[in-house]
Amino acid sequence: MATRVKNLTMIEGVLSIVGNTLLFILKFWAGIVVGSVALMADAWHTLTDSISSMVVVVGAKISSKPADKNHPYGHGRAEHIAAVVVGIMLVLIGFEFLMKSIEKLQSHEAVNYGTIGLVVTIISVLVKEGMAQFAFWAGKQSNSSLLQADAWHHRSDALSSVIILVGIILGPKFWWMDGVLGIIVSLMIFYTSFEILKTDINSLMGTSPKPESVNLIRDLVNKTVGDEVFIHHFHFHSYGEHTELSCHIKLPGDLTLKDAHKVCSIIENAIHEKTGIFATVHPEPIKNGNAQ
């Protein structure tokens, strides 16, 4: 699984770097030919996706490294750190987009890109949305938040190109159209970056376990042991593909240490076999026949 995640991430990252660099050259050339500052700015916006994809590739390479002495649980959280970097880049891009849109409204600047600008922008929208769809697919296949973040980055660039495309069509009739739609898209980019940052910052800081995960483990343990052991005090720690679980169980107070250890080992092995989670189980004595 880890190998597949790494391969998909590397493929998406390399394709993104090559595709965005070529789009940058095409859009920057078109901006110079038609004399459009907006198209040239959009070209630089596209180039930031290449930088983002470089972060993706580096993040995938680091997160796939095996555990070592200084990182006993592996390097999986490097993916979340890289995703946070992508999210911050989206914030900066959204802010730049917002400022440029406001400047256009203040200067009453209309959009006039010509045929070259129209064709290049359509190509940009199709290519960027294609990249986004592939990254979304790869992210779902590999359960990678980093690929999902990069997919939204591609889509943000596609949306910026849609703004220019709408401006090309409606700009001659409504001088303010490009500026207004630019503000709308910048707000969409801010929302996307917020979702990315919220998800991956929470993963880095740690969150309470989901009820369905707790119920799954509880049912599995009761079926494995055959008796109610009142499993509780769940703590999940995620390190990319590696997840650690610590929990407590209740056992009879007169049980020998050897037998208590045996029960804990059986539970730990069952959890790992069924879910892939590495569990550490702490036994507690039932006091006076009361598990509470």
**pLDDT for res 23:** 92
- In terms of domains, do 190 and 266 share one? no
* Whether residue 8 is found in the same domain as residue 153: yes
* Binned average pLDDT, 10 residues per bin, the chain of 292 residues: 64 85 90 76 75 68 69 66 80 84 83 82 92 89 77 82 80 79 80 79 69 86 83 80 84 90 93 88 79 55
Structural domain that includes position 176: 2-205
**291 in a structural domain:** no
Domain of residue 12, CATH code: 1.20.1510.10
Residue 292 lies in a domain: no
244 DSSP β-pair partners: 237, 278
Question: Same domain, yes or no, for 46 and 168?
Answer: yes
Instruction: Please report the pLDDT score of residue 208 as a whole number.
Output: 66
Residues 159 and 273 in one domain: no
208: alpha, beta or left, given left = phi > 0 and alpha = psi -120 to 50?
beta
Q: Are residues 46 and 184 in the same domain?
A: yes
pLDDT of residue 195: 79
Instruction: Give a yes or no: residue 257 inside a domain.
Output: yes
263 domain residue, yes or no: yes
Q: Total domain count for the chain?
A: 2
Give the model's pLDDT for residue 59: 67
- Tell me if 259 is assigned to some domain: yes
CATH number of residue 277's parent domain: 3.30.70.1350
pLDDT tens digits, one per residue of 198-215? 877 776 766 666 788 888
pLDDT by residue (tens digit) across 90-110?
788 888 878 888 887 888 877
| Residue at 92 is within a domain | yes
- pLDDT score recorded for residue 3: 60
Residue-level pLDDT at 206: 64
β-pairing, 278-286 with 242-252? parallel
Distance between CA 191 and CA 99 in Å, rounded? 17
The letter for the amino acid at 179 is G
Q: Are 144 and 181 members of one domain?
A: yes
Of 161, 182, 205, the residue that ends a domain is: 205
179 lies in the same domain as 216: no
Give yes or no for a contact between 283 and 246, defined as CB atoms under 8 angstroms apart. Answer: no
Is 107 contained in some domain? Answer: yes
Q: Are residues 220 and 282 in the same domain?
A: yes
User: Do 197 and 218 fall into the same domain?
Assistant: no
Query: Token pair 């938040």 is at which residue?
Result: 145
Query: Does residue 252 form part of some domain?
Result: yes
- Indicate whether 24 and 115 sit together in one domain: yes
Phi, psi (rounded to 5 degrees) for 243: -125, 130
Q: Which of 162, 181, 205 is the last residue of a domain?
A: 205
pLDDT of residue 63: 64
- Specify whether 164 is located in the same domain as 123: yes
What pLDDT score was predicted for residue 6?
Answer: 63
Shared domain check, 185 and 255: no
Give the end of a domain, one of 164, 179, 205: 205
